Amino acid sequence: MWRSPTLTLAQLLANANTFSAVNIFSTTTVFGGTAQLQGAFRPRIQAFSGAGTIVSANGFQVEKTGAGAYTLVLPASPSSGDVYRLFDGYGDAGTGNLSVSSAGTAINGTAAGGGAVVAVNTNYGQCWITYDGTKWILSR
């Protein structure tokens, strides 16, 4: 059984279909088939109406709220498993792309500090970006 004080979204996705039991509040729950989580998830949202730097904290949703193209800078000191959902809440990313850049860590295999990468380029589009401990992985 995998043990960790915190289970991140990245760990869950990386280990999909491998959990047989989960320890919650010192009680072990054994899965006999599928697991269902109930309750509410209230994401923290960072809204940007222009260029800016994303705050370093796991689980943020980053919303584009202004017109035109601009670039957001990823956290300089990410932790392995940090996950961000970037989305176009303004609705003009088809003509005003939302891009991300990184000060010193590669994005999808590009050279570290190699410039901005277009993250969202469709109106009301979205993408996910995850830090795996060595690089950022952007998925649409």
pLDDT beyond 90 at 67: yes
* CB-based contact 117:100 (threshold 8 Å): yes
User: 132 and 103 in one domain?
Assistant: yes
In the chain, at which residue ranges do the beta strands (DSSP E only) sit? 21-24, 27-30, 44-48, 52-53, 60-64, 70-73, 83-88, 98-101, 117-120, 126-131, 136-139
> Same structural domain for residues 17 and 51?
no
Q: Is the pTM of this model over 0.95?
A: no
Residue 45: CA count within 13 A, CB half-sphere = 11
18 and 82 together in one domain: no
- Please say if the pLDDT value at position 38 is more than 70: no
Q: Taking 60 as the threshold, does the pLDDT of residue 55 lie above it?
A: yes
Q: Are residues 108 and 57 in the same domain?
A: yes
Q: Is the predicted pLDDT of residue 3 greater than 50, yes or no?
A: no
Number of domains in the chain: 2
Q: Tell me the three state secondary structure of residue 52.
A: strand
The CATH number of whichever domain residue 55 belongs to comes to 2.60.120.640
Domain of 18 in residue numbering reads as: 1-39
- Return mean pLDDT, the chain: 78
